[in-house]
Structure 1
Amino acid sequence: MTASPPSDLPPRARTIVLLTCCLSVFVAGLDVTIVNVALPSIQRALHTSVSGLQWATDAYTLVIACLLLLSGSLADRFGRRRVFTTGLAVFTVGSLLCSLAPSLGALVAFRALQAVGGSMLNPVAMSIIATTFTEPAARAKAVGAWGAVAGLSLASGPVLGGFLVSGLGWRSIFWITVPFGVLAMVLTTRYVPESRAARGKRFDPLGQVLVVALLGPVTAAVIEGPRQGWGSPLIVGLFAVAAASGAGLVAAEGRRADPLVDIRFFRSPAFSGATLIALVALAASGGFLLLNTLYLQDVRGFSALHAGVVTIPMPLALGVFSTVSGRLVAAKGPRPALLLAGLLLAAGAGLMAGTGDRTGTWYLVLAYVVFGAGCGLVGTPITNTALAGLPRDQAGVAGAIASTCRQTGAAIGVAVCGSIVAGGSGGFLASGRAAWAVLAGCGGATVLFGLVSTGRWATARAERNGRQSSTQEMEVAR
């Protein structure tokens, strides 16, 4: 622990901390869009199917989703800078190993290792930001800047990925994140102060096992359902395991003094609404990236570089509207940003449902800008709503729960859309329309959950629960 807590740092030091945290999201975001551009090349090089591509993508998002809560609690207990630095090191090593993968199985395993490190990056960085910028307006602006960097990384990914894949092959997309990871480690060690919760949580092995047993089978069932048959014993068994694990998680964590998943958080309608919004909004984002990559390169015949260039407007819009979202939330609260985000997500996916094998570039750019703007607007209000009324000492775990829902949503979006395309007849365009319609529905659900979670009743409950949680924490500390 430093002599001064992060919130007492002078303005210049706080800015350096924010920039260092932003570098981590740049590394993680760059990896996402670079990999998506390279999927068709990976499919050809490793002779895999669409379901294989789903595993190459979901191995990363699923492992992150399973470990985010653990990483958040470890950061609160043992030190956020320590866990953050460890995550950067593991992520960088995983990236290097991915570039050397000789087979699909090895790539999936190394992507999972990447995800172990990735689980310690964005949510821990968010908790560092939350404890550094404690004023609501300053926090909203900091989160908005963080989202803008995410948009910049996503914007860089398609072009850089396309250039690398076209010139050096798909393995080079993993090389590029290594120097950024090393730089982030150096900056973190030098500039980010150590911080931890006043009373960290004890390790909860049962809770961690139940989280894995809930999220893993659901994603596996959705990916393998079209190939195995939805009524097959394997798929039915996977869903049954997930359902039992979910029930066990609620029962076990409700009785534990230091739960991995604090059920008290979900008493707040605002927090519960934020987690649902994270699920559906990020399902739309994950599914969109997969479908768009397959559409551009398999249906339209674009090269990786051409596909990357055409897609640039989407992450650029994401970056611009992330900044807008931070200022909008600081001035008006999360409600306007959430409602507009949901409408734009639905509109963007709806536009893509109308594409064909000769759709004009201007139409694609319009769809990308609309959808990217929705993605940019939704991030900041999700985070602010999730943290509203919760004790600051639990920022790591609360942020990790919200991030878990983001990653789970992205994994499910990829799994559902990939399954629709893989199990459909009549080619990609026919089955793709159904998948785009599902994503448009996710945008509509974002609007609905946004209305409920930001109403007066939900806001009042969040404030009351926050006061009760703070009182309980003080009593336990005594």
Structure 2
Amino acid sequence: MRGVLAPLALAQFICSFAGSNMNVMINDISEDLDTSVQGVQLAITIFLLVMAALMIPGGKLTDRYGRKRCFLAGLAVYGVGALLSAAAPGLGVLILGNSILEGVGTALLIPPVYILTTLLFTEVTSRARAFGAVMALGGIGAAAGPLIGGLITSAISWRAAFVFQALVIVLIIILSRRIEDPLPPDPTSTFDTAGAILSAVGLVLVVTGILAADNNVWLMIGLIVLGALVLLWFFRSARAKERAGEQPLLSPSLFRNRTSNLGLVTQNIQWLLLMGTSFVVATYLQVVRGYDAIQTGVIFTAATLGLLASSLAAERLARRWAQRTLIVTGFVVAIAGVGVLLALASGSPSAWAFAPGLLLIGLGLGLCLTPSVNVVQSSFPDERQGEISGLSRSVSNLGSSFGTAVAGTILVAGLTTHAYGAAMITLAVLGLVGLVTAVFLPRGPVSSTTPSAPHGPT
């Protein structure tokens, strides 16, 4: 089964890498394409919006066309987008390749990664090991993206970073030949187009509001409220369709599962902490300390090693400890890491003062990322994995966007002369919310057949 797991984990790695490595290439891209830094930031923003809009529909399409087929289609679209980005003569083509095609490809391929992992690894510890590998490479892609991207950009060019992505996609497609879809596709499965449009519009408005946080607080509030109203319309529409015997894009019964709801909240806050910390520390190192992309990436190696160590230990940990225990412990360690980071970094001019805190944050998040995903996915039977996987990935993406926006708003607003410390303290407080949420998770193993996980209509 390791041969099956390798392409799934690599797919999560390259998508996480794409989401973080662009941050160190902004200046190079803007100079080469004769555009502004804001133009490149627009490309990054559109990428996030496309993913947010299409992740839930992407998960639902797997029921109709099959998980492996959607996975391969997503890889192909992503690969074309990477090559187009590498050859982009201007900002418009870069947006088409990176923001749109790579965004669409990601939305198509990521839900099958989690669905196939759940379906192919049915035993608790083997599933923990599988999700541990997937989340380890995902965490490494997010944490090491700036370092790898910085090295490639400095040694060759920013275009080579997109060629690197395309080469990894080719490798994944070759390795995917061993994957067999455990469930046959259902061509008779209907697709809720109106629901897809409503969910996409609502999520785009929410993500746009989050990303606008560092420019205009009132615009942020307005967009988020409007997005919430559209999403409420979407859920009311889905409930009406379900009562009428139709198949909505996302069944409201998914949210009747208390265990899954708690797990989704912990997922959201984990990615908020990971991307928020990455943004704050990277900004501080480059703006205040004057470090370049490679130096900044090297310092983040501590967080990468922490994530790798704890994620790869997921199988052994799952044998000895309950999922709830691992998630709670992970939050405690990550929050302690923020405290160590603030205490050591503020009192020392050495770059290595950041390493202990980042290592603890990486260890803590690596401890809880895998069991949180496992809790959510295991709360539902096989036939509902398409729905819950799309929802789970959307919630995680919202966490990533929210973490960057919260940290960015505090740093830009300059609410205090110690804006860096204020941003990290805010992230730690949000981490406490995740910790309290995790305490209410069930102590025992999670199963889709337990009363806490009602199936609801399918």
What TM-score comes out, normalization by structure 2 length? Answer: 0.89
CA contact (8 A) 1:36 1:289 kept: no
Structural mapping, 1:337-416, within 5 Å: 337-354=326-343, 355-356=345-346, 359-416=349-406
Please tell me whether the aligned partners of residues 329 and 380 of structure 1 are also in contact (alpha carbons under 8 angstroms). no
| SS of residue in 1 equivalent to 2:247 | coil
Per-residue CA deviation, residues 227-270 of structure 1 (Å, 9 max, x unaligned), is 3x433xx5554234212112112211112232222211211111
Q: Does 1:303 align with 2:292?
A: yes
**Correspondence for 2:164 among 146, 156, 176:** 176
CA contact (8 A) 1:84 1:120 kept: yes
* Cα distance between partner residues in 2 of 1:440 and 1:431: 14
1:322 to 291, 308, 311: 311
Q: Deviations over 1:136-173 (max 9, x none)?
A: 22211211122233345456534432222222233332
Match for 2:451 among 460, 464, 467?
464
Q: Structure 1: any 5+ residue segments left out of the alignment?
A: 1-13, 474-478
Question: Matched residues, percent identical?
Answer: 26
Contact 1:283 1:413 in 2 (8 A): yes
Q: Tell me by how many angstroms 1:108 deviates.
A: 4.3
Residues 1:422 and 2:407 are matched in the alignment: no
| Mapping 1:89-100, distance limit 5 Å | 89-100=76-87
CA RMSD of aligned residues (A): 2.8
Matching residue within 118, 132, 135 for 1:144: 132
C-alpha distance in structure 1 between counterparts of 2:190 and 2:144, whole Å: 40
Question: Per the alignment, in what secondary structure is the counterpart of residue 451 of structure 2?
Answer: helix
Work out the CA distance in 2 between the residues paired with 1:282 and 1:153: 13
Change in Cα spacing, 1:425 to 1:357, as seen in structure 2 (3 Å) is farther
C-alpha displacement at 1:195, in angstroms? 4.1
Partner of residue 133, structure 1: 121
Distance 1:156 1:243, change over 3 A: closer
Judged with a 3 Å threshold, the aligned counterparts in structure 2 of structure 1 residues 267 and 425 are, in CA distance, closer, same or farther, namely closer
Give, in whole Å, the separation in 2 of the partners of 1:461 and 1:117.
29
Letter in 2 for 1:215: L
The answer (yes or no) to whether the contact 2:60–2:249 under 8 Å persists in 1 is yes
Structure 2 counterparts to residues 228-307 of structure 1, below 5 A: 229-231=216-218, 235=220, 237-256=222-241, 257-307=246-296
Q: CA deviation at 1:454?
A: 2.7
Residue 68 and residue 195 in structure 1: after superposition, are their counterparts in 2 closer, same or farther (change >3 A)? farther
Within 2, Cα distance between the matches of 1:95 and 1:87?
Answer: 12
Tell me the equivalent position of 1:441.
Answer: 429
Q: Deviations over 1:258-305 (max 9, x none)?
A: 222221121111100111111111111122222222222222111222
- Measure the CA separation in 1 of the matches of 2:153 and 2:280: 19
Q: Which range moved further: 350-359 or 303-312?
A: 350-359
Instruction: Please say if residues 338 and 428 of structure 2, whose CA atoms lie closer than 8 Å, have aligned partners that are also in contact.
Output: yes
Say if 1:106 and 1:409 are closer, same or farther in 2 by CA, change over 3 A. Answer: farther
> Cα gap change, 1:223/1:130 in structure 2, threshold over 3 Å: closer, same or farther?
closer
Match of 2:24?
37
- Per-residue deviation, 1:424: 2.4
Q: Give the partner amino acid of 1:252.
A: S
Match of 1:476 in 2: none
Q: 1:195 and 1:311 mapped to 2: Cα distance?
A: 38
Say if 1:142 and 1:320 are closer, same or farther in 2 by CA, change over 3 A: same
Q: State the AA in 2 paired with 1:81.
A: K
How far apart, CA to CA, are the structure 2 residues paired with 1:311 and 1:278?
Answer: 22
- Classify 1:360/1:40 alpha carbon distance in 2 versus 1 (closer, same or farther; 3 Å): farther
Deviation digits for residues 312-370 of structure 1 (CA, Å, limit 9, x no counterpart): 11112111110223432343221111111112222333444454596323321112101
Shift, 1:410, TM fit? 0.5
Alpha carbons of 1:370 and 1:39: their partners in 2 closer, same or farther (altered >3 Å)? farther
- State the Cα deviation string for residues 39-70 of structure 1 (Å, max 9, x = none): 45556766645x76654444333322321211
**Inter-partner Cα distance in structure 2 for 1:376 and 1:74:** 30
Q: How many residues align?
A: 450
How do residues 171-210 of structure 1 correspond to structure 2 at under 5 angstroms?
Answer: 171-188=159-176, 190-196=177-183, 201-210=189-198
What residue number does 1:69 align with? 56
Q: Which moved more, 1:174-183 or 1:410-419?
A: 410-419
What residue number does 1:112 align with? 100
Distance 1:153 1:219, change over 3 A: closer
Farther-moved stretch of structure 1 (32-41 vs 323-332) = 32-41
Residues 126 and 315, structure 2, Cα contact 8 Å, conserved in 1: no
Q: 2:172 corresponds to which letter in structure 1?
A: A
Q: CA distance change for structure 1 residues 440 and 237 in 2, over 3 Å: closer, same or farther?
A: closer
